[in-house]
Amino acid sequence: MKDVGFAGSTNTYGWFNAGARDVVTNGGVVIYPKNIVVADGDGVIVVPQDVAVGVAKYAKQIQDGDKASRQRHYEKAGRTPDFMVQ
């Protein structure tokens, strides 16, 4: 197992290629081969491959609900829809 360091909020992005068969740790989180790692400015999530489809479906439901709610707020405020609600 390789420790690749700690993932913090540095607002910088980098790549680490551990190899397809390596188990790595980052900030105390173990990342296994075929896990899906998603990161943005808010944080990082590691999703095991065997639950990735379910997680993606759930995330899409949350996103759709968020967009619908945001659309209602835009309409109430008289704002023109932009990329955040389309």
The domain ranges of the chain are 1-47, 49-86
Q: What is the pLDDT of residues 8-32, one digit of tens each?
A: 444 445 555 556 678 888 778 888 8
Residue 38 in contact with residue 47, Cβ under 8 Å? yes
The per-residue pLDDT for 10 is: 47
Confidence (pTM):
0.60
